[in-house]
Amino acid sequence: MDDSMSDLVEKGKKRLQWARDHMEVLRKVREEIKERGTLKDMSISMALHVEAKTGILALSLAEAGANVKMASCNPLSTDDSVAEALREEYGMDVFAERGESEEEYYDHLNSTLEHDPDIVIDDGGDLVSLIHKEREDLIDRIQGGCEETTTGIVRLRAMEKDGALEFPVMSINDALMKHLFDNRYGTGQSTIDGLMTATNLQLSGKNFLIGGYGWCGRGIAMRAKGMGADVLVSEVDPVKAVEAKMDGFEVAPAKENIKKADFVVTATGCKNVIGEEEIKNAKDGCILANSGHFNNEINIDALEEHSKSTQIARDDVKEYRMKDGRKLYLLADGRLVNLAVGQGHPAEIMDMSFALQMLGAEYVVKNDLETRVHDIPRELDEKVAKLRLEADGVEIDELSKEQKEYIENWEEGT
Ligand code: ADE
């Protein structure tokens, strides 16, 4: 190994250790599952963002006795130091490189399937979709899967509705201990991290438009407001739009809001949230970023079409000089800014999401599940909550016998 490679491995090892030291919930779950031996000798294929926290999930599964092969679920989110450390130091099969081409990306997903998986762990739905489209031969032996994100769950539910889904999948995303924290506080913090790292500009006093007021959008709004920005929200769901309004944000269609937005972040799981009309209306100097899973939330073709030239303004910042003289800036080619530029969600947040991934994988093995998308059982959600409280040294109240009887007795009103 040459010096630069060993430096890279050393950096990756340190990042892994740092993440491990901040993932107490996963540690407890790992120890319990190892003890039960439920994942021993299971072949697991994973497609997740290859970075330090995910590395600890992969190592946890391996420590519980599983054979793990891992690829990235996004061509721009791999931390090469972590990928290299996992390969060199832990002998793990990791197929991922930051900036990989689309062809390499799919080759890597395919490589995770070389050991004929019993379980698949996915983020965004590409691996499950690939198996259904190209590797039907594997379907009979796959006991089930786990999916991490809103985007992936929307895809899987569409497959289920069409009768196309061929094995059960646990919706990790719908677990309370996942989306209430990962989507909200995780995306909130890591999106600001990505924006600040890419631009080094001030948020305070700026107009900050968020496309989508789901859990991710709510988290981004909360953090942008905390940084002193004036938050604008665009939403298609009337209930979420009312919520955004009552949370104190200005709600209007994206084509209107964008006329005054200094920053725009999309977080919807849908395409063309910032479409041609929005791009035509965008304020001069507007910074466009996406925190949703795929890079189709901002219509990059329309940006290209209406611009006369482009240049790289800073790392991860592409400047579009529009034909009408405006300048617009796109971060990380519209790829999820919190991982392509920022360092992803904080370790304590991924700790809970990945504990649920591990418990979800065990649930698949322990239960003969129907072929559909399944919610994580409430007991597992509560287990993760209790472990989190324990890790934080927080105690909570318990209902007394008298209180329990009171809430179960519908006859007694006063
Ligand atoms: N780190 C690992 N997986 C992640 C995800 N899905 N979102 C943000 N950060 C992550």
- Beta carbons of 300 and 318 less than 8 angstroms apart: no
Kindly give the residue spans of alpha helices, DSSP state H, lying in 282-377: 300-305, 337-340, 347-366
CB of 120 closer than 6 A to ligand 1? Answer: no
Query: Of the candidates 241, 195, 197, which has an alpha carbon nearest to the alpha carbon of residue 218?
Result: 241
CA dist 72 and 48 (Å) reads 5
What is the structure's pLDDT at 412? 72
Mutate to test the pocket of ligand 1, among 22, 182, 293, 351 (most ligand atoms within 8 A of CB): 182
How confident is the model at residue 410, as a pLDDT? 85
- What is the 321 CA–ligand 1 centroid distance (Å)? 32
Q: Which helix H or strand E contains 57, and what residues bound it?
A: helix 52-63
Each residue's pLDDT expressed in tens, for the chain with a length of 414 residues: 788 889 999 999 999 999 999 999 999 999 999 999 999 999 999 999 999 999 999 999 999 999 999 999 999 999 999 999 999 999 999 999 999 999 999 999 999 999 999 999 999 999 999 999 999 999 999 999 999 999 999 999 999 999 999 999 999 999 999 999 999 999 999 999 999 999 999 999 999 999 999 999 999 999 999 999 999 999 999 999 999 999 999 999 999 999 999 999 999 999 999 999 999 999 999 999 999 999 999 999 999 999 999 999 999 999 999 999 999 999 999 999 999 999 999 999 999 999 999 999 999 999 999 999 999 999 999 999 999 999 999 999 999 999 999 999 988 776
pLDDT of residue 411: 83
Strands 327-331 and 317-322: antiparallel
State the pLDDT at residue 178. Answer: 98
Burial of 281 (0-12, 13-18, 19+ CB in 10 A): middle
Tokens 């697991």 -> residue? 44
Ligand 1, atom nearest to 187 Cα: 8
Query: Ligand 1 centre from 307 Cα, in Å?
Result: 32
Residue nearest to atom 3 of ligand 1 (CA): 49
Taking alpha carbons only, the member of 103, 106, 118, 63 closest to residue 86 is 63
Task: Determine the residue type at 181.
Answer: F
Q: What domains appear along the chain, each with residue ranges and CATH number?
A: 3-178+345-391 (3.40.50.1480), 187-340 (3.40.50.720)
- Distances in whole angstroms, Cα of residue 361 to Cα of each of 33, 146, 367, 382: 10, 7, 10, 17
Whose alpha carbon is nearest atom 10 of ligand 1?
A: 344
What span, in angstroms and rounded, lies between the C-alpha atoms of 335 and 348? Answer: 24
Task: State if residue 350 touches ligand 1 by the CB under 6 angstroms criterion.
Answer: yes
Going by their DSSP bridges, the two strands 287-290 and 327-331 should be labelled as parallel
Ligand 1 mean position, distance from CA 342 (Å): 10
Burial classification of residue 217, based on how many CB atoms lie within 10 Å of its CB (0-12 exposed, 13-18 middle, 19 or more buried): buried
Rounded to an integer, what distance in angstroms lies between the CA atom of residue 310 and that of residue 299? 16
* Number of Cβ within a 10 Å radius of residue 136: 10
Buried b (16+ CB within 10 A) or exposed e, 18-51: ebbebbbbbbbbbebbbeeebbeebbbbbbbbbb
CA of 359 to the centre of ligand 1 (A): 18
Q: Say yes or no: CB of residue 178 within 6 Å of ligand 1.
A: no
- The pTM score is 0.95
Other residues' Cβ atoms within 10 Å of the Cβ of residue 326 = 17
Distance between Cα 398 and ligand 1 center (Å):
34
Please identify, by atom number, the ligand 1 atom nearest to the C-alpha of residue 186.
8
Measured by CA distance, the residue closest to atom 1 of ligand 1 is 344
Report the distance separating Cα 144 and Cα 361, nearest Å. 8
pLDDT at 2: 85
Ligand 1 near 123 CB (within 6 A) = yes
Tell me, in angstroms, the distance from the centre of ligand 1 to residue 300's CA.
24
Coil, strand or helix: which one is 92? Answer: coil
Q: Does the C-beta of 119 come closer than 6 Å to ligand 1?
A: no
- Does 100 sit in the ligand 1 pocket, CB within 6 Å? no
Q: Tokens 């919520």 appear where?
A: 243
Pocket test for ligand 1, best of 339, 348, 358 (most atoms within 8 A of CB): 339
Q: Which run of H or E residues covers position 95?
A: strand 93-95
